[in-house]
Amino acid sequence: MICLAQKEEARDLLCDRRFLADWAALFSACPWSTPFQSVGFASTWYQVYAPAIEPVLAYERSRQGELIGLLLLAQNPAAGLICAGGNQAEYQGWLAHAENGSDFIERAIQELAARQPASSLTFCYLPPGAPVDWALPGGILGPLCQSEAVRRPLLALDDRDHIDSALRSKHMRVAVNRFKRQGDLRFERITGSEAFDEIFDILIGYYDDRQQVTHRCRPFRDDPNKKLFHCRLMEIPELLHVTVLKAGEQVISAHLGMCGNGVVHMLIPAQSPTFAKDSVGRVHMLMLAQLLQQTQYRILDLTPDENALKKQLATTYDAVHKVTVFLNRRAKIVHDGKQKITAFARRTLAACGLEPKAVKGLVARFRGVASEKNPS
């Protein structure tokens, strides 16, 4: 039987030592678990974001009382029903034993559909290896799901030739020599909270500036809890993997990743705009790969979204799935209608020789002009 805990009941469970111990045991037993479903990551997220969310936990116990399935969710007034971690969890899913993986999530979603007012739930992205058959066409919940397979670039750490030859290339050697003119070049892993605090604001500045250019947002500035969340995560042993590249005393690049199960997941790459044209981000990731070769890690997960840097670094690819589950048929019908309208609009623009991005730019420019003429 699926149990659905919400609000106070869910908050009590998140403070219950037995439940946390059972959660940790299930996490270790689940073949597709990632650090984003761990007690450390998810419980910290629930604590830091408590004023803005209501926890929702769907879980199942065996007849012997063993926790055999757990889906970590939250109700967000702005975003609706979301997976724990929100957009800060690169992989979103549930925990279960291998033999119970599909059955548990099917029953959990059916329970949510019966008791939750939300219209949909998105897993972006399902952890590699998580069952997805239930959400595909022909699956039990296929008619209520939209699924998309997405290529995921990976850097295999046992491919020493690829990593070493990339760092020895003329372009990389020239870049490294430029960095050395600023002072001695040092690549370091940050492990303590005090050292992390010293460089974190620099990392945030570099990262937000880059995101503003590429995505017109500043994640840390826009989310006042984001810095505190990562500072709390840094207090959990072996959860975050933080490295910096310094030229003299100047931090010229940094990376914050999440680690577990032999994998380091690329999360927050940051680089000084002064050295961006010298490929400092690529140098950093290759040096990170060399460092990780000396450890138990096997894979540097570059994460979905193939930008130029990830294409240069990747040695192999696999696939992960983005799945949206519509918790009622009306929501699915509305979504399908919007998809058809969007597809029609794209075809119409293409027939006129226009790109959707160009039209968005014109609209944004028009709105900017209009707001200047009619200030509020």
Contact 74, 54 (CB under 8 A): yes
Place of tokens 């803005």: 52
**pLDDT at residue 330 tops 70:** no
- In angstroms, rounded to a whole number, what is the distance separating the alpha carbons of residues 278 and 275? 5
Residue 239: per-residue pLDDT: 97
Q: Cis omega before residue 46 (within 30°)?
A: no
| pLDDT, averaged across the chain | 91
Domain covering 158-297 in this structure, CATH number? 3.40.630.30
Q: For residue 353, name the pLDDT band (cuts at 50, 70, 90).
A: confident
| pLDDT cut 90: percent of the chain above it | 83
What pLDDT does 374 receive?
Answer: 47
Query: Does 165 score more than 80 pLDDT?
Result: yes
Cα separation of 273 and 338, whole Å?
Answer: 39
Give the chain's count of helices (H) and strands (E): 13, 13
Whether residue 16 is predicted with pLDDT greater than 80 in this model: the reply is yes
pLDDT tens digits along 279-318: 999 999 999 999 999 999 999 999 998 889 999 999 999 9
**CA dihedral over 314, 319, 325, 329, signed as positive or negative:** positive
Say if CB 317 and CB 152 are below 8 A apart.
yes
Domain with CATH 3.40.630.30 in the chain: 2-149+320-327, 158-297
The yes-or-no verdict on residue 62 having pLDDT over 90 is yes
pLDDT at 79: 87
Q: What is the pLDDT of residue 306?
A: 80
Mean pLDDT over residues 49-58, rounded? 96
In this structure, of 25-39, 114-128, 142-156, the range with the lowest mean pLDDT score is 114-128
Per-residue pLDDT at 297? 96
pLDDT above 70 as % of the chain: 90
What does CATH list as the number for 2-149+320-327?
A: 3.40.630.30
Q: Per-residue pLDDT for 361 more than 60? A: no
Predicted local distance difference test score (pLDDT) of residue 117: 75
For position 65, what pLDDT does the model report?
96
Task: Record the pTM.
Answer: 0.89
Distances (CA, A) of 184 to 142, 189, 202, 245, 278: 57, 16, 19, 10, 17
Supply the pLDDT for residue 250.
Answer: 96
Euclidean distance between the first and the last CA atom of the chain, given in angstroms as a whole number = 55
For residue 365, the model assigns a pLDDT of 52
Q: What gap in Å lies between CA 208 and CA 217, rounded to an integer?
A: 7
Mean pLDDT of the 61-70 span = 97
pLDDT 10s digits, 168-194? 999 999 999 999 999 999 999 999 999
Tell me whether strands 2-6 and 54-61 are parallel, antiparallel or unpaired: antiparallel
Q: What is the pLDDT of residues 219-247, one digit of tens each?
A: 999 999 999 999 999 999 999 999 999 99
At 78, the pLDDT band (50, 70, 90 cuts) reads: confident
Looking at residue 328, what is its pLDDT? 78
pLDDT for res 369: 46
**How does strand 299-301 pair with strand 263-271?**
parallel
pLDDT top residue among 340 and 208: 208
